[in-house]
Structure 1
Amino acid sequence: MRVSPIGFAFSTVEAVLAEAQKSAEVSHNHPEGIKGAQATALAIFLARTGAAKQHIRQEISERFGYDLTRTIAAIRPHYRFDTSCQGSVPEAIIAFLDSDNYEDAIRKAISLGGDSDTLACIAGGISQAFYKEIPIEIVTEIRKKLPQEFLEIIDTFTTKYMSN
Protein backbone atom coordinates (compact mmCIF):
# COMPACT_ATOMS: atom_id res chain seq x y z
CA MET A 1 0.00 0.00 0.00
CA ARG A 2 3.02 2.33 0.33
CA VAL A 3 4.54 1.55 -3.06
CA SER A 4 2.33 3.77 -5.22
CA PRO A 5 4.77 6.70 -5.52
CA ILE A 6 7.29 4.40 -7.23
CA GLY A 7 4.93 3.86 -10.15
CA PHE A 8 4.78 7.63 -10.60
CA ALA A 9 8.43 8.48 -9.95
CA PHE A 10 10.38 6.13 -12.20
CA SER A 11 10.48 6.09 -15.98
CA THR A 12 11.17 2.47 -16.99
CA VAL A 13 9.63 -0.87 -16.17
CA GLU A 14 13.01 -2.12 -14.93
CA ALA A 15 13.47 0.83 -12.57
CA VAL A 16 9.90 0.52 -11.25
CA LEU A 17 10.36 -3.19 -10.51
CA ALA A 18 13.77 -2.70 -8.87
CA GLU A 19 12.62 0.17 -6.66
CA ALA A 20 9.40 -1.62 -5.72
CA GLN A 21 11.48 -4.59 -4.60
CA LYS A 22 13.70 -2.34 -2.47
CA SER A 23 10.68 -0.69 -0.87
CA ALA A 24 9.06 -4.04 -0.03
CA GLU A 25 12.19 -5.63 1.41
CA VAL A 26 12.05 -3.26 4.38
CA SER A 27 8.72 -4.53 5.72
CA HIS A 28 7.53 -7.35 3.41
CA ASN A 29 10.73 -9.26 2.72
CA HIS A 30 9.01 -12.34 1.38
CA PRO A 31 8.64 -13.33 -2.28
CA GLU A 32 4.86 -12.70 -2.19
CA GLY A 33 5.31 -9.31 -0.53
CA ILE A 34 7.86 -8.26 -3.12
CA LYS A 35 5.64 -9.57 -5.93
CA GLY A 36 2.67 -7.60 -4.59
CA ALA A 37 4.67 -4.38 -4.40
CA GLN A 38 6.04 -4.87 -7.89
CA ALA A 39 2.60 -5.67 -9.33
CA THR A 40 1.11 -2.56 -7.76
CA ALA A 41 3.92 -0.24 -8.85
CA LEU A 42 3.96 -1.70 -12.36
CA ALA A 43 0.17 -1.34 -12.71
CA ILE A 44 0.52 2.33 -11.73
CA PHE A 45 3.40 2.85 -14.16
CA LEU A 46 1.43 1.24 -16.99
CA ALA A 47 -1.67 3.27 -16.18
CA ARG A 48 0.37 6.47 -15.94
CA THR A 49 2.00 5.86 -19.30
CA GLY A 50 -1.29 5.32 -21.13
CA ALA A 51 -1.79 1.56 -21.15
CA ALA A 52 -5.34 0.34 -21.67
CA LYS A 53 -7.00 -1.65 -18.90
CA GLN A 54 -6.78 -4.86 -20.92
CA HIS A 55 -3.04 -4.40 -21.36
CA ILE A 56 -2.60 -3.77 -17.62
CA ARG A 57 -4.68 -6.88 -16.84
CA GLN A 58 -2.65 -9.03 -19.22
CA GLU A 59 0.78 -7.71 -18.18
CA ILE A 60 0.14 -8.11 -14.45
CA SER A 61 -1.49 -11.53 -14.89
CA GLU A 62 1.32 -12.91 -17.03
CA ARG A 63 4.21 -11.39 -15.11
CA PHE A 64 2.96 -12.14 -11.59
CA GLY A 65 0.53 -15.03 -12.03
CA TYR A 66 -2.46 -13.20 -10.56
CA ASP A 67 -5.94 -14.24 -11.69
CA LEU A 68 -7.43 -10.96 -12.85
CA THR A 69 -10.27 -12.55 -14.82
CA ARG A 70 -12.66 -12.33 -11.86
CA THR A 71 -14.98 -9.40 -11.13
CA ILE A 72 -15.66 -7.53 -7.91
CA ALA A 73 -19.22 -8.88 -7.96
CA ALA A 74 -17.87 -12.45 -8.09
CA ILE A 75 -15.24 -11.83 -5.38
CA ARG A 76 -17.43 -9.93 -2.88
CA PRO A 77 -19.63 -12.81 -1.56
CA HIS A 78 -16.64 -14.96 -0.63
CA TYR A 79 -13.98 -12.42 0.28
CA ARG A 80 -12.64 -12.55 3.82
CA PHE A 81 -10.11 -10.44 5.69
CA ASP A 82 -6.74 -11.28 4.17
CA THR A 83 -3.63 -9.22 4.86
CA SER A 84 -1.43 -11.27 2.55
CA CYS A 85 -0.33 -9.73 -0.73
CA GLN A 86 -1.71 -12.64 -2.73
CA GLY A 87 -5.07 -12.16 -0.95
CA SER A 88 -5.30 -8.41 -1.43
CA VAL A 89 -3.27 -7.12 -4.40
CA PRO A 90 -5.20 -8.97 -7.13
CA GLU A 91 -8.53 -7.92 -5.59
CA ALA A 92 -7.44 -4.27 -5.43
CA ILE A 93 -6.28 -4.38 -9.05
CA ILE A 94 -9.63 -5.90 -10.05
CA ALA A 95 -11.43 -3.07 -8.22
CA PHE A 96 -9.56 -0.68 -10.50
CA LEU A 97 -10.15 -2.78 -13.62
CA ASP A 98 -13.90 -2.94 -12.91
CA SER A 99 -14.15 0.79 -12.21
CA ASP A 100 -15.56 3.64 -14.27
CA ASN A 101 -13.68 6.41 -12.43
CA TYR A 102 -11.48 7.12 -9.41
CA GLU A 103 -14.26 7.19 -6.82
CA ASP A 104 -15.85 4.06 -8.25
CA ALA A 105 -12.55 2.17 -7.86
CA ILE A 106 -12.24 3.22 -4.22
CA ARG A 107 -15.85 2.28 -3.48
CA LYS A 108 -15.46 -1.11 -5.15
CA ALA A 109 -12.27 -1.84 -3.18
CA ILE A 110 -13.86 -0.85 0.13
CA SER A 111 -17.00 -2.85 -0.64
CA LEU A 112 -14.99 -6.05 -0.33
CA GLY A 113 -14.45 -5.43 3.37
CA GLY A 114 -11.49 -7.00 5.09
CA ASP A 115 -8.28 -5.02 4.81
CA SER A 116 -10.18 -2.26 3.03
CA ASP A 117 -7.66 0.54 3.67
CA THR A 118 -4.98 -1.46 1.85
CA LEU A 119 -7.35 -2.42 -0.95
CA ALA A 120 -8.43 1.22 -1.39
CA CYS A 121 -4.84 2.51 -1.37
CA ILE A 122 -3.79 0.10 -4.09
CA ALA A 123 -6.89 0.63 -6.24
CA GLY A 124 -6.66 4.38 -5.65
CA GLY A 125 -3.05 4.64 -6.76
CA ILE A 126 -3.72 2.79 -9.99
CA SER A 127 -6.92 4.77 -10.58
CA GLN A 128 -5.24 8.11 -10.06
CA ALA A 129 -2.60 7.14 -12.61
CA PHE A 130 -5.18 5.87 -15.11
CA TYR A 131 -7.92 8.49 -14.76
CA LYS A 132 -5.30 11.27 -14.31
CA GLU A 133 -7.05 13.00 -11.44
CA ILE A 134 -8.77 12.67 -8.13
CA PRO A 135 -12.11 14.53 -7.95
CA ILE A 136 -11.65 17.95 -6.34
CA GLU A 137 -14.31 17.21 -3.71
CA ILE A 138 -12.27 14.27 -2.45
CA VAL A 139 -8.98 16.20 -2.57
CA THR A 140 -10.52 19.12 -0.65
CA GLU A 141 -11.87 16.90 2.13
CA ILE A 142 -8.66 14.88 2.47
CA ARG A 143 -6.50 18.03 2.60
CA LYS A 144 -8.59 19.28 5.56
CA LYS A 145 -7.62 16.17 7.53
CA LEU A 146 -3.87 16.03 6.86
CA PRO A 147 -1.20 17.89 8.83
CA GLN A 148 0.70 20.66 7.03
CA GLU A 149 3.86 18.55 7.01
CA PHE A 150 2.10 15.85 4.95
CA LEU A 151 0.59 18.41 2.61
CA GLU A 152 4.04 19.84 1.89
CA ILE A 153 5.38 16.37 1.04
CA ILE A 154 2.40 15.62 -1.21
CA ASP A 155 2.67 18.98 -2.95
CA THR A 156 6.41 18.60 -3.53
CA PHE A 157 5.96 15.09 -4.93
CA THR A 158 3.05 16.17 -7.11
CA THR A 159 5.02 19.10 -8.52
CA LYS A 160 8.04 16.97 -9.26
CA TYR A 161 6.45 13.82 -10.63
CA MET A 162 2.86 14.48 -11.60
CA SER A 163 2.66 17.97 -13.07
CA ASN A 164 2.52 18.28 -16.84
Structure 2
Amino acid sequence: MQVFEKLRGNKFTDLVGPAKEQFNGQGSLGNGAAMRISPVSLFCYNDYERLVDMAKRQAMLTHTHREGVNGAILQAITIGKTICLDPTQELDSKKFIDDLIEDMNEIEQEDEEFLQLTDAQIKPFKAKLTLMRKMIKKSLNNPNKLDVVEVIMNLGNSLRAVHSVPAAIFCFLLAQNPIPGINTDNPFRRTIQYAMTLGGDTDTIASMAGAIAGAYYGDQSINPNMLKHCECSEEFAKFGDELFDTVHKEQ
Protein backbone atom coordinates (compact mmCIF):
# COMPACT_ATOMS: atom_id res chain seq x y z
CA MET A 1 0.00 0.00 0.00
CA GLN A 2 2.91 2.34 0.72
CA VAL A 3 4.03 2.08 -2.90
CA PHE A 4 0.63 3.10 -4.22
CA GLU A 5 0.40 5.98 -1.75
CA LYS A 6 3.75 7.27 -3.01
CA LEU A 7 2.65 6.85 -6.62
CA ARG A 8 -0.38 8.97 -5.92
CA GLY A 9 1.84 11.44 -4.10
CA ASN A 10 4.13 11.93 -7.10
CA LYS A 11 1.08 11.95 -9.42
CA PHE A 12 2.48 8.93 -11.28
CA THR A 13 5.42 10.90 -12.68
CA ASP A 14 7.88 8.24 -11.42
CA LEU A 15 6.33 4.80 -11.85
CA VAL A 16 9.16 2.68 -10.41
CA GLY A 17 10.74 5.05 -7.88
CA PRO A 18 8.52 4.10 -4.92
CA ALA A 19 9.07 0.38 -5.53
CA LYS A 20 12.85 0.89 -5.69
CA GLU A 21 12.77 2.48 -2.25
CA GLN A 22 11.30 -0.63 -0.65
CA PHE A 23 13.45 -2.71 1.71
CA ASN A 24 16.25 -0.16 2.05
CA GLY A 25 16.55 0.36 -1.66
CA GLN A 26 16.78 -3.32 -2.60
CA GLY A 27 13.20 -3.63 -3.83
CA SER A 28 10.77 -6.43 -3.05
CA LEU A 29 11.68 -10.03 -3.92
CA GLY A 30 8.17 -11.21 -3.13
CA ASN A 31 5.63 -12.99 -5.31
CA GLY A 32 2.95 -10.31 -5.57
CA ALA A 33 3.87 -9.29 -9.11
CA ALA A 34 3.85 -12.93 -10.20
CA MET A 35 0.47 -13.56 -8.60
CA ARG A 36 -1.24 -10.81 -10.60
CA ILE A 37 0.51 -11.43 -13.95
CA SER A 38 -2.04 -13.64 -15.74
CA PRO A 39 -3.80 -10.84 -17.70
CA VAL A 40 -0.42 -9.95 -19.22
CA SER A 41 0.03 -13.57 -20.33
CA LEU A 42 -3.37 -13.55 -22.01
CA PHE A 43 -2.76 -10.20 -23.68
CA CYS A 44 0.69 -11.22 -25.01
CA TYR A 45 0.32 -14.98 -25.38
CA ASN A 46 1.25 -14.90 -29.09
CA ASP A 47 4.23 -12.53 -28.78
CA TYR A 48 7.02 -13.83 -26.52
CA GLU A 49 9.23 -10.72 -26.59
CA ARG A 50 6.29 -8.48 -25.80
CA LEU A 51 5.21 -10.84 -23.03
CA VAL A 52 8.60 -10.70 -21.30
CA ASP A 53 8.85 -6.93 -21.66
CA MET A 54 5.35 -6.24 -20.37
CA ALA A 55 5.74 -8.72 -17.51
CA LYS A 56 8.92 -6.93 -16.43
CA ARG A 57 7.34 -3.47 -16.64
CA GLN A 58 4.23 -4.63 -14.79
CA ALA A 59 6.35 -6.18 -12.03
CA MET A 60 8.51 -3.11 -11.50
CA LEU A 61 5.53 -1.03 -10.45
CA THR A 62 5.80 -2.78 -7.08
CA HIS A 63 8.76 -5.22 -7.21
CA THR A 64 12.19 -4.08 -8.42
CA HIS A 65 14.40 -6.78 -6.91
CA ARG A 66 15.57 -9.12 -9.68
CA GLU A 67 13.92 -12.11 -7.97
CA GLY A 68 10.56 -10.35 -7.79
CA VAL A 69 10.82 -9.29 -11.43
CA ASN A 70 12.10 -12.60 -12.78
CA GLY A 71 9.51 -14.52 -10.79
CA ALA A 72 6.78 -12.53 -12.49
CA ILE A 73 8.39 -13.16 -15.88
CA LEU A 74 8.62 -16.91 -15.23
CA GLN A 75 4.97 -17.08 -14.18
CA ALA A 76 3.95 -15.04 -17.24
CA ILE A 77 5.92 -17.29 -19.60
CA THR A 78 4.46 -20.42 -18.00
CA ILE A 79 0.88 -19.22 -18.39
CA GLY A 80 1.64 -18.04 -21.92
CA LYS A 81 2.80 -21.55 -22.82
CA THR A 82 -0.16 -23.34 -21.26
CA ILE A 83 -2.65 -21.11 -23.07
CA CYS A 84 -1.28 -22.43 -26.36
CA LEU A 85 -1.31 -26.13 -25.42
CA ASP A 86 -4.06 -28.65 -26.15
CA PRO A 87 -5.30 -30.19 -22.88
CA THR A 88 -6.65 -33.22 -24.75
CA GLN A 89 -3.06 -34.18 -25.61
CA GLU A 90 -0.71 -35.60 -22.98
CA LEU A 91 1.61 -32.92 -21.63
CA ASP A 92 5.32 -33.70 -21.92
CA SER A 93 6.40 -32.41 -18.51
CA LYS A 94 10.11 -32.83 -19.20
CA LYS A 95 9.97 -30.78 -22.39
CA PHE A 96 7.78 -28.20 -20.67
CA ILE A 97 10.38 -27.74 -17.92
CA ASP A 98 13.30 -27.86 -20.38
CA ASP A 99 11.74 -25.01 -22.34
CA LEU A 100 11.32 -22.95 -19.17
CA ILE A 101 14.94 -23.66 -18.17
CA GLU A 102 16.11 -22.41 -21.55
CA ASP A 103 13.98 -19.27 -21.19
CA MET A 104 15.19 -18.47 -17.68
CA ASN A 105 18.81 -19.19 -18.57
CA GLU A 106 18.53 -16.33 -21.05
CA ILE A 107 16.53 -14.02 -18.78
CA GLU A 108 18.67 -14.47 -15.67
CA GLN A 109 21.70 -12.93 -17.29
CA GLU A 110 24.95 -12.61 -15.40
CA ASP A 111 25.85 -9.11 -14.23
CA GLU A 112 29.24 -7.97 -13.02
CA GLU A 113 27.98 -7.67 -9.45
CA PHE A 114 27.13 -11.39 -9.41
CA LEU A 115 30.41 -12.74 -10.76
CA GLN A 116 31.52 -14.05 -7.35
CA LEU A 117 28.36 -16.11 -6.89
CA THR A 118 27.57 -19.67 -7.93
CA ASP A 119 25.38 -20.40 -10.95
CA ALA A 120 22.50 -21.36 -8.63
CA GLN A 121 22.78 -17.95 -6.93
CA ILE A 122 23.07 -16.05 -10.20
CA LYS A 123 20.21 -17.94 -11.82
CA PRO A 124 18.03 -19.17 -8.94
CA PHE A 125 14.93 -19.82 -11.05
CA LYS A 126 16.90 -21.93 -13.50
CA ALA A 127 18.28 -23.86 -10.52
CA LYS A 128 14.79 -24.45 -9.09
CA LEU A 129 13.48 -25.61 -12.46
CA THR A 130 16.39 -28.04 -12.76
CA LEU A 131 15.50 -29.49 -9.34
CA MET A 132 11.86 -29.63 -10.40
CA ARG A 133 12.73 -31.71 -13.45
CA LYS A 134 14.33 -34.35 -11.22
CA MET A 135 11.38 -34.33 -8.84
CA ILE A 136 8.80 -34.74 -11.61
CA LYS A 137 10.78 -37.67 -12.99
CA LYS A 138 10.86 -39.21 -9.52
CA SER A 139 7.10 -38.76 -9.10
CA LEU A 140 6.39 -40.42 -12.44
CA ASN A 141 8.49 -43.43 -11.46
CA ASN A 142 6.88 -43.75 -8.03
CA PRO A 143 4.27 -41.21 -6.86
CA ASN A 144 4.48 -42.45 -3.26
CA LYS A 145 8.19 -41.62 -2.98
CA LEU A 146 7.74 -37.85 -3.26
CA ASP A 147 6.47 -36.25 -0.06
CA VAL A 148 5.44 -32.68 0.70
CA VAL A 149 8.44 -32.06 2.95
CA GLU A 150 10.81 -32.81 0.08
CA VAL A 151 8.91 -30.42 -2.19
CA ILE A 152 9.07 -27.64 0.40
CA MET A 153 12.77 -28.23 1.07
CA ASN A 154 13.66 -28.12 -2.63
CA LEU A 155 11.21 -25.59 -4.08
CA GLY A 156 9.98 -23.66 -1.05
CA ASN A 157 6.61 -22.35 0.07
CA SER A 158 7.36 -18.81 1.25
CA LEU A 159 6.38 -15.41 -0.10
CA ARG A 160 9.72 -15.01 -1.91
CA ALA A 161 9.13 -15.36 -5.64
CA VAL A 162 11.94 -17.87 -6.02
CA HIS A 163 10.39 -19.99 -3.25
CA SER A 164 6.84 -19.93 -4.60
CA VAL A 165 6.62 -19.49 -8.39
CA PRO A 166 8.52 -22.76 -9.07
CA ALA A 167 6.36 -24.46 -6.43
CA ALA A 168 3.22 -23.32 -8.25
CA ILE A 169 4.52 -24.66 -11.56
CA PHE A 170 5.37 -27.95 -9.87
CA CYS A 171 1.83 -28.23 -8.47
CA PHE A 172 0.41 -27.90 -11.97
CA LEU A 173 2.76 -30.49 -13.46
CA LEU A 174 2.41 -33.00 -10.63
CA ALA A 175 -1.39 -32.78 -10.84
CA GLN A 176 -1.34 -34.04 -14.42
CA ASN A 177 -1.58 -37.46 -12.79
CA PRO A 178 -3.36 -38.76 -9.67
CA ILE A 179 -1.70 -37.72 -6.41
CA PRO A 180 -1.86 -40.03 -3.36
CA GLY A 181 -4.16 -38.54 -0.72
CA ILE A 182 -5.99 -36.18 -3.08
CA ASN A 183 -9.26 -37.78 -4.13
CA THR A 184 -10.48 -36.01 -7.23
CA ASP A 185 -10.44 -36.83 -10.93
CA ASN A 186 -10.44 -33.14 -11.83
CA PRO A 187 -6.82 -32.07 -12.54
CA PHE A 188 -7.62 -28.38 -12.03
CA ARG A 189 -9.00 -29.05 -8.57
CA ARG A 190 -6.14 -31.47 -7.89
CA THR A 191 -3.67 -28.67 -8.67
CA ILE A 192 -5.33 -26.32 -6.17
CA GLN A 193 -5.67 -28.95 -3.46
CA TYR A 194 -2.06 -30.05 -3.76
CA ALA A 195 -0.87 -26.44 -3.60
CA MET A 196 -2.77 -26.07 -0.33
CA THR A 197 -0.93 -29.04 1.19
CA LEU A 198 2.39 -27.19 0.84
CA GLY A 199 1.42 -24.69 3.53
CA GLY A 200 3.38 -21.46 3.80
CA ASP A 201 2.12 -18.73 1.48
CA THR A 202 -0.73 -21.01 0.50
CA ASP A 203 -3.13 -18.52 -1.02
CA THR A 204 -0.57 -17.07 -3.42
CA ILE A 205 0.94 -20.40 -4.46
CA ALA A 206 -2.53 -21.87 -5.05
CA SER A 207 -3.54 -18.74 -6.96
CA MET A 208 -0.52 -18.98 -9.27
CA ALA A 209 -0.91 -22.74 -9.72
CA GLY A 210 -4.60 -22.22 -10.47
CA ALA A 211 -3.80 -19.56 -13.06
CA ILE A 212 -1.48 -21.96 -14.88
CA ALA A 213 -3.96 -24.84 -14.68
CA GLY A 214 -6.87 -22.62 -15.69
CA ALA A 215 -4.99 -21.39 -18.75
CA TYR A 216 -4.31 -25.00 -19.71
CA TYR A 217 -7.66 -26.69 -18.99
CA GLY A 218 -10.01 -23.77 -19.61
CA ASP A 219 -12.92 -22.57 -17.50
CA GLN A 220 -14.96 -25.68 -18.29
CA SER A 221 -12.68 -27.55 -15.87
CA ILE A 222 -13.62 -25.34 -12.93
CA ASN A 223 -16.37 -26.88 -10.82
CA PRO A 224 -19.34 -24.51 -10.30
CA ASN A 225 -19.12 -25.15 -6.56
CA MET A 226 -15.59 -23.75 -6.59
CA LEU A 227 -16.47 -20.91 -8.91
CA LYS A 228 -19.25 -19.59 -6.71
CA HIS A 229 -16.68 -18.88 -3.99
CA CYS A 230 -14.65 -16.67 -6.35
CA GLU A 231 -15.46 -12.99 -5.99
CA CYS A 232 -16.84 -11.38 -9.19
CA SER A 233 -16.12 -14.52 -11.25
CA GLU A 234 -18.60 -13.62 -14.00
CA GLU A 235 -17.16 -10.13 -14.30
CA PHE A 236 -13.60 -11.43 -14.58
CA ALA A 237 -14.64 -13.99 -17.19
CA LYS A 238 -16.09 -11.11 -19.20
CA PHE A 239 -12.85 -9.14 -18.81
CA GLY A 240 -10.88 -12.16 -20.03
CA ASP A 241 -13.03 -12.52 -23.13
CA GLU A 242 -12.71 -8.82 -23.91
CA LEU A 243 -8.94 -8.91 -23.43
CA PHE A 244 -8.65 -11.88 -25.78
CA ASP A 245 -10.84 -10.14 -28.36
CA THR A 246 -8.67 -7.02 -28.11
CA VAL A 247 -5.55 -9.05 -28.90
CA HIS A 248 -7.10 -10.45 -32.07
CA LYS A 249 -8.40 -7.07 -33.19
CA GLU A 250 -4.82 -5.79 -33.10
CA GLN A 251 -3.67 -8.47 -35.54
- TM-score category of the 2 structures, normalised to the smaller one: 0.7 to 0.9
1:81 offset after TM fit, Å?
4.8
1:156 offset after TM fit, Å?
2.5
User: Residues 117-154 of structure 1: CA distance to partner in whole angstroms, max 9, x if unpaired?
Assistant: 1111111111111122353534x54345525xx74344
Q: 1:46 to 1:95 in 2, by over 3 A?
A: same
Task: List structure 1 runs of 4+ shifted beyond 4 angstroms.
Answer: none
Q: Which residue of 2 aligns with 1:114?
A: 200
Q: Which residue of 1 aligns with 2:238?
A: 155
Conserved in 1, the CA contact under 8 Å of 2:195 and 2:206? yes
Conserved in 2, the CA contact under 8 Å of 1:128 and 1:134? no
Q: Which runs of 5+ in 1 are unaligned?
A: none
The residue correspondences of 1:1-164 to structure 2 (distance < 5 A) are 1-10=35-44, 11-50=46-85, 52=91, 53-64=93-104, 65=126, 66-67=128-129, 68-69=132-133, 70-71=135-136, 74=146, 76-78=148-150, 79=152, 81-100=157-176, 101-138=187-224, 141-143=226-228, 146-147=231-232, 151-161=234-244
Q: AA paired with 2:73?
A: Q
Q: Which runs of 5+ in 2 are unaligned?
A: 1-34, 105-125, 140-144, 177-186, 246-251
- Point out which structure has higher relative CO (alpha carbons under 8 A, 6+ apart): 1
C-alpha distance in 2, partners of 1:48/1:124?
13
**Matched residue count:** 159
Conserved in 1, the CA contact under 8 Å of 2:157 and 2:205? no
Larger Rg: 2
Partner of 1:26: helix, strand, or coil?
Answer: coil
User: Residues 52-85 of structure 1: CA distance to partner in whole angstroms, max 9, x if unpaired?
Assistant: 4333211222322133222587462152651101
- TM-score where L is the length of structure 1: 0.83
* C-alpha RMSD of the superposition: 2.4
- TM-score where L is the length of structure 2: 0.56
Identity in percent: 25
